[in-house]
Structure 1
Amino acid sequence: MTFSDEQLDRYARHIVLKEIGGAGQARLAQTRVAVIGAGGIGCPAIQYLAAAGIGTLRVIDDDEISLSNLQRQVLFGTADVGWPKAQIARDAVTRLNPDVAYQAVPERLTAANAAVLIGDVDLVLDGCDNFATRLTVSDHCTRARIPLVSGALGQFQGQIGTFRGWEADQPCYRCFVGDAFDADDCDTCAEQGVLGAMAGLVGSWAAMEAVRAIVGFGPDAAGKVHVFDGVTPALRTIRIAKDPACRACGSDRL
């Protein structure tokens, strides 16, 4: 791939990194990423992926912006209340980087439409707010062999994991949480609260892990979940074991 003078200037701070360089920046420009949820995690992730020069950015979210979102969903402002999140995120990405092909999908991802909505992407970044959707995304990514970066947060805690469950020695997200959360009934930040800046941290971290998965810098993060406690603050990393009985990636499924 040949970069224009303007692109060389825009991505210069990436290109001078030996871990990324021109070849890595070219891979970013040729990659299609789907972001599930333009909420607290999705907003900063969308910003940093767009700034990084991801070739195609597909944002899947069926929700509209509410006033209570603005404390942590930093793509949106007061004037955006009532508008679809995926549509307003397009405006922000267009302002930030015209190189990015943005695709707004104002739909809820389900088992019935997952293959259509994310079947053709190279990586999925999931920042949605319920386990039912998370497991649907994970199961499809495992079947379609699409790397998954999953971010979650609540109150003062955030977590990030990267999953390639189709590989013989790698777990999927379902191996991590099991089958107990298939119902759409998990706690929400409306009930428990969340520190706005924690959403920024997790979303930015998720974008970094997506870039890592695309470019391949540093140690392989797959199969690990990083948990950050913002109160202490403290960070710990958990290695997830592959569940041989997992109904998505167990030995009898792949």
Structure 2
Amino acid sequence: MTQLTDSQSLTDDELLLYARQVLLDGWDIDAQLRLKYSRVVMIGAGGLGCPASETLVRAGVGQVHLIDDDVIEASNLQRQTLFLPEDIGQPKATTAAAMLGKINPLIKAKGSVARLDENNAYELLAMESGKPNLLLDCTDNFATRDMINRISVRYQIPLLSASAIAMEGQLALFEPQLNTGCYHCVFGETRVDEAADARTCANSGVLASTTAIMGSLQANAALQYLGLTKNPLTGKLLLWDGSRMQQRLMGYRQDKDCIVCASR
């Protein structure tokens, strides 16, 4: 969590921009300051990464780093809200970061055109400058999510994992430093040849509202965690069903035999 000091403050421009947020019951200047001095890393700048990062930037999260090695295609424009037709062919990460900087010039947005893996994680996450306050998994397949989870556990960085496919979504906020369970505890082993892992937006389809809703829910959880030091999903997996307009929570516990987090 971000630790505040007496020298940290909001500028007049920040007070004006975030005025409606600071007026919220349970939200105060300290909460806004925690956002200002937070650093988040988002893996994926697509259907989830676009709405989630935009909300975080508008709310005042001070540093947002997007990591994605993909380029913008025409089919992305249906749901990836930071991109315009003239952006087709450009890298998603740097294009999204540039747009976020225009949306809120008071924050710092950075894009890295790269594919995160366990070998380059230390460098890409800029660990030499200190751990990010939160990782946001905005990717679209089990194998990548499992790899990001391993990085989260290895470096003890909280992980907010979201998924969106068709008209369904899932969301969980794992805190490896508390030994309360990880992504692997919930979903177990995954293999790239499994049919379930092959389901992506590209081959299964996704309604534009699904990514918008799940990205917003992901941002909502991130803001509470960063600003209020509160995990609204402790021990819970949120399941959203857009076709039925239903949402439910499923409990989970750490798997004491988990090969990723139980041995630490």
TM-score (norm 2): 0.90
What is the aligned counterpart of 2:182 among 153, 156, 172? 172
1:227 and 1:237 in contact (8 A); partners too: yes
Identity of aligned residues (%): 36
| C-alpha displacement of 1:219 | 6.2
Return the letter of the residue paired with 1:229. D
| Secondary structure of the structure 2 residue equivalent to 1:107 | coil
| C-alpha displacement of 1:116 | 2.0
Q: Determine the C-alpha separation between the residues in 2 that align with 1:189 and 1:4.
A: 41
| C-alpha displacement of 1:217 | 6.3
Q: Do structure 1's residue 229 and structure 2's residue 236 form an aligned pair?
A: no
Q: Which runs of 4+ in 1 moved over 6 A?
A: none
| C-alpha displacement of 1:30 | 0.4
Residue number in structure 2 paired with 1:32: 39
| C-alpha displacement of 1:137 | 1.2
Unaligned runs of 5+ in 1: none
Unaligned runs of 5+ in 2: 1-7
Instruction: Give the number of equivalent residue pairs.
Output: 251
Q: Do structure 1's residue 68 and structure 2's residue 80 form an aligned pair?
A: no
Deviations 1:98-138 (A, max 9, x none): 11111111100111112222243110111111222211111
Residue number in structure 1 paired with 2:120: 113
Q: Determine the C-alpha separation between the residues in 1 that align with 2:231 and 2:160.
A: 15
| Secondary structure of the structure 2 residue equivalent to 1:99 | coil
Return the letter of the residue paired with 1:173. Y
- Higher alpha-carbon deviation: 241-250 or 13-22: 13-22
| C-alpha displacement of 1:229 | 0.5
What is the aligned counterpart of 2:133 among 122, 126, 131? 122
Q: Determine the C-alpha separation between the residues in 1 that align with 2:57 and 2:14.
A: 13
Residue number in structure 2 paired with 1:82: 89
Is the alpha carbon distance of 1:19 and 1:156 closer, same or farther for their aligned partners in structure 2, counting shifts above 3 Å? same
TM-score (norm 1): 0.94
Is the alpha carbon distance of 1:183 and 1:173 closer, same or farther for their aligned partners in structure 2, counting shifts above 3 Å? farther
| C-alpha displacement of 1:182 | 5.7
Q: Determine the C-alpha separation between the residues in 2 that align with 1:39 and 1:61.
A: 9
Is the alpha carbon distance of 1:98 and 1:204 closer, same or farther for their aligned partners in structure 2, counting shifts above 3 Å? same
What is the aligned counterpart of 1:204 among 206, 212, 216? 216
Residue number in structure 2 paired with 1:238: 250
| C-alpha displacement of 1:240 | 1.4
Is the alpha carbon distance of 1:219 and 1:103 closer, same or farther for their aligned partners in structure 2, counting shifts above 3 Å? closer
Q: Compute the RMSD of aligned alpha carbons.
A: 1.6
2:237 and 2:249 in contact (8 A); partners too: yes
